Chain A
Amino acid sequence: MSLFKSKKLLGLALGTTMALTAGAAAAKTTLTMYYPVAVGGPLTKIVDGIVADFEAKNPDIDVNAIYAGNYNDARIKALAALKSGKPAQLSVMFSIDIYDLIEQDAIVAFDDIVSTEEDRKWLKSFYPALMENGQTLGKTWGIPFQRSTIVMYYNKDAYRAAGLDPENPPTTWNALVDAGKKLTKKDGSQWGIMIPSTGYPYWMFGALTKQNGQVLMNSDGNETYFNNPKVVEALSFWKDLSVKHGVMPKGAIEWGTLRQNFLEGKTAMMWHSTGNLTTVKKKAKFDFGVAMLPGNPSRGTPTGGGNFYIFKKSSAEEKKAALKLIKFMTSADNAAKWSMETGYIGVSPAAYDTKKLQAYAKNFPPAAVARDQLKFATAELSTYQTGRVRKLLDDALQSVIAGGKAPADALGDAQTRAEKLLKPYK
């Protein structure tokens, strides 16, 4: 401890001396980063706050953090910036963009930037489940930042009213359907459950398939398993929730308005990103709980969200500064703060060891659910040509849930088309 402290002091002293000697003549490094937001709440303010802290501690680095919309927008903007005159040096982008970014030759692997033993240790300090989407070809390309899993938010008051135990939410598909039936009111004023089928349907589906014991793609990103019988079964279950069991409304359920539906008591349970947790906590006027998703039989969820990437087109100096910024933003303290203010997962075990987060989770147990669920987590759907492959699956899912197509047909078509797209990458 004392060694660590003195090291820190030494660093500080060294830094000060260097700053003094170099004086104002030292050139400032300016970093531009784009980042997305896909959940509720004033997240841009929080990011700006952390960035301001970083700038205060690193006067030689200026950070220009630009909020760019949703994940799709952020990737488009960052890549567009690379081609135009004002490139970004790092960005938070969708964790599943990795293959496209590699194919575009846009990013560098962190293994090629880190130099010290300490840095290499840092690379290993995150939850392994969160690293899955950031690693391929034997290297690490993305560092987890705004990462989430899907959790089940449920209305405890509604549970009580329906004679269900609010402390024991369903842990299996069958129990989920049973609970849903008790919670669904005949007059349509309250549904049992809502699983969003717009925005990120493939993500929700990734949870259902994992629970049914099957993943959607291989780790090389060139093979999908959309027509696997267990995948088809998972989709049948999703469809049956509305068609057969009548516990979920028919048609597509909108990702963006679902939170309002839950807060208004129109559904007793919703599956949504853990990134919504803090906003739900602030706005819910009833007693609510957060549970891990149920299983059939084993639990499962994909991880989700955004990773840090560093762009190839930046100078060695900029890469160094970018790495520094990433380390700062994912440090235990900041990860803890970020997790408390949003509901996203603290990306490393160290974050959950901080006093702040421990105290917070003790007071508010839902804060730890997403983390606990990581042991059941798998990677989010990510392949080469990921946008297209994802759209194939999204369309197939919507054609079944909203359009009445047979699950096997829709998924079979999607698989055939995905195979065609991925053929060149084998």
Chain B
Amino acid sequence: MNPSLSYLRKAVTVVGAWLLAILWISPLLFAFWAAFHNPEDAIHFDLTAPLTLGNFVEAWNQAPFPRYMLNTFLLVTGLLAAQMILATLAAYAFARFNFVGGGIAFSLILVQLMITPEILIVENYATIADLGLADSLTGIGLPYAASAFGIFLLRQTFKSVPRELDDAARMEGCGTLGILWRVYVPLAMPTYLAYGLVSISHHWNNFLWPLVVSNSVETRPLTVGLAIFGAPESGVDWSIVSAATLMSVAPLLIAFLLFQRQFIRSFMASGIK
């Protein structure tokens, strides 16, 4: 191949990649720009406009963001813990116990890959209300606690664990759960990490179901809090909304910046590919 042509091709690729990147990050960049400028300056793109922290102060004062953040944090971590425990147990059964009805049960579970709780929002809300869990973090999390995706993923990983390790552990006197804990869980760590990332980013962003279930400041996650804070009906003020958005995504953004290599690596090692 002509070397100058390949050089040109490479240049085009680089430029294209950067253009795409700028397009993709532009909402975040704009949020930064707007959050640190007065509302009037923010929509004018006047580069000489003074910087301000006033939007953060105002957003912080207008809505209980720390509380929303705590709610989201509790929801996401509690849910992740529940998902992992339930999925681990079920995946272990499907991977290693050739039990009667297991095949059918597994296909029935996979139905949830397509029919997630928000699709059946009306009836699920009725169920949560009947259980007395409306307007509670438990109520927001419960329908997602058993995750078909998690079960599917862990089952794949568990199946690849050599049987000999099982036997060795049993020889040492481990029971069923002991083997799971000592042998399978450690070997599946990358899968847990990858699944954790998917679960966290999903539930951190989830809106429709929490909107329906939460009724008060004590249960509203960030998404719902942000939605009613920035509802366009009340006349959009982009600077304050941007400040609020930045405050709420900061933890996840920083976490990603710090751990992005580990995330990718865990994805490589897990079954998701």
- The reply to whether the CB of A39 lies closer than 8 angstroms to some CB of chain B is yes
Chain B residue contacts of A257, Cβ below 8 A: 232, 235-236
Write the chain A residue with the least CB distance to B236.
A256
CA distance A85 to B132 in the complex (A): 6
CA distance A36 to B78 in the complex (A): 31
Nearest CB on A from B207, distance (A)? 12
- The reply to whether the CB of B107 lies closer than 8 angstroms to some CB of chain A is no
Chain A residue contacts of B118, Cβ below 8 A: none
A123-143 near B? 1/0 per residue, CB < 8 Å: 000000000000000000000
CA distance A86 to B43 in the complex (A): 43
CB-contacts of A342-392 with B (<8 A)? none
- The reply to whether the CB of A101 lies closer than 8 angstroms to some CB of chain B is no
CA distance A368 to B261 in the complex (A): 62
B43: contacting residue among A39, A69, A255, A260, CB under 8 A: A260
- The reply to whether the CB of A181 lies closer than 8 angstroms to some CB of chain B is no
- The reply to whether the CB of B217 lies closer than 8 angstroms to some CB of chain A is yes
Flag the segment in A76-84, A222-230, A397-405, A412-420 that touches B.
Answer: A76-84
Chain B residue contacts of A41, Cβ below 8 A: 234-235
Nearest CB on A from B119, distance (A)? 19
Nearest CB on B from A256, distance (A)? 3
- The reply to whether the CB of B215 lies closer than 8 angstroms to some CB of chain A is yes
CA distance A64 to B212 in the complex (A): 20
- Interface range on chain B: under 10, 10 to 19, 20 to 34, or 35 or more? 20 to 34
Assuming the A-B contacts A66-B216, A77-B215, are A37 and B234 also in contact, with contact meaning beta carbons closer than 8 angstroms in the complex? yes
CA distance A96 to B239 in the complex (A): 33
A276: contacting residue among B129, B217, B232, B235, CB under 8 A: B235
- The reply to whether the CB of A38 lies closer than 8 angstroms to some CB of chain B is yes
B41-55 near A? 1/0 per residue, CB < 8 Å: 001000000000000
A69: contacting residue among B62, B135, B228, CB under 8 A: B228
- The reply to whether the CB of B252 lies closer than 8 angstroms to some CB of chain A is no
A81: contacting residue among B39, B40, B135, B228, CB under 8 A: B135
A69-104 near B? 1/0 per residue, CB < 8 Å: 110010001001101111000000000000000000
Chain B residue contacts of A66, Cβ below 8 A: 215-217
> Are B62 and A260 in contact, CB atoms less than 8 angstroms apart?
no
> Are A42 and B62 in contact, CB atoms less than 8 angstroms apart?
yes
Write the chain B residue with the least CB distance to A72.
B233
- The reply to whether the CB of A328 lies closer than 8 angstroms to some CB of chain B is no
B223-253 near A? 1/0 per residue, CB < 8 Å: 0000110011111110000000000000000
CA distance A328 to B235 in the complex (A): 28
- The reply to whether the CB of B134 lies closer than 8 angstroms to some CB of chain A is yes
Write the chain B residue with the least CB distance to A86.
B135
Please tell me the number of chain A residues within 8 Å of chain B, measured between CB atoms.
36
Chain A residue contacts of B234, Cβ below 8 A: 37-41, 43, 70, 256
Assuming the A-B contacts A70-B233, A256-B235, A260-B43, are A83 and B215 also in contact, with contact meaning beta carbons closer than 8 angstroms in the complex? no
> Are A69 and B134 in contact, CB atoms less than 8 angstroms apart?
no
- The reply to whether the CB of A199 lies closer than 8 angstroms to some CB of chain B is yes
Write the chain B residue with the least CB distance to A85.
B132
Nearest CB on B from A153, distance (A)? 12
CA distance A43 to B63 in the complex (A): 11
> Are B215 and A81 in contact, CB atoms less than 8 angstroms apart?
yes
> Are A264 and B228 in contact, CB atoms less than 8 angstroms apart?
no
Write the chain B residue with the least CB distance to A256.
B232
- The reply to whether the CB of A279 lies closer than 8 angstroms to some CB of chain B is yes
CA distance A44 to B231 in the complex (A): 13
Chain A residue contacts of B40, Cβ below 8 A: 263, 283, 285
> Are A68 and B228 in contact, CB atoms less than 8 angstroms apart?
yes
Chain A residue contacts of B61, Cβ below 8 A: 42, 45
Chain A residue contacts of B227, Cβ below 8 A: 69
Chain B residue contacts of A264, Cβ below 8 A: 43
Interface centre among A80, A81, A84 (most CB of B within 10 A): A84
> Are B235 and A260 in contact, CB atoms less than 8 angstroms apart?
yes
> Are A260 and B236 in contact, CB atoms less than 8 angstroms apart?
yes
A199: contacting residue among B39, B135, B233, CB under 8 A: B233
CA distance A187 to B125 in the complex (A): 52
CA distance A248 to B132 in the complex (A): 51
- The reply to whether the CB of A254 lies closer than 8 angstroms to some CB of chain B is yes
Chain A residue contacts of B231, Cβ below 8 A: 37, 69-70, 73, 256
- The reply to whether the CB of A259 lies closer than 8 angstroms to some CB of chain B is yes
Nearest CB on A from B225, distance (A)? 10
Assuming the A-B contacts A81-B215, A84-B132, are A255 and B62 also in contact, with contact meaning beta carbons closer than 8 angstroms in the complex? no
What are 28 pairs between A and B in contact, CB < 8 Å? A39-B234, A40-B234, A40-B235, A40-B237, A42-B61, A44-B62, A64-B216, A66-B217, A69-B227, A69-B231, A70-B231, A80-B129, A80-B134, A81-B135, A83-B129, A84-B132, A85-B134, A86-B135, A255-B233, A256-B231, A256-B234, A256-B235, A257-B232, A257-B236, A260-B235, A263-B40, A283-B39, A285-B40
- Please give me the 4 A-B residue pairs with the lowest Cβ-Cβ distance, nearest first: A256-B232, A40-B235, A84-B134, A69-B228
Beyond the given pairs A64-B216, A73-B228, A80-B134, 11 more chain A to chain B contacts, judged by CB atoms under 8 angstroms and listed by A's residue number, are: A39-B235, A40-B234, A43-B234, A70-B233, A80-B135, A81-B215, A86-B216, A256-B233, A257-B236, A276-B235, A279-B235
A→B interface (CB under 8 Å): 37-45, 64, 66-70, 73, 77, 80-81, 83-86, 199, 254-257, 259-260, 263-264, 276, 279, 283, 285
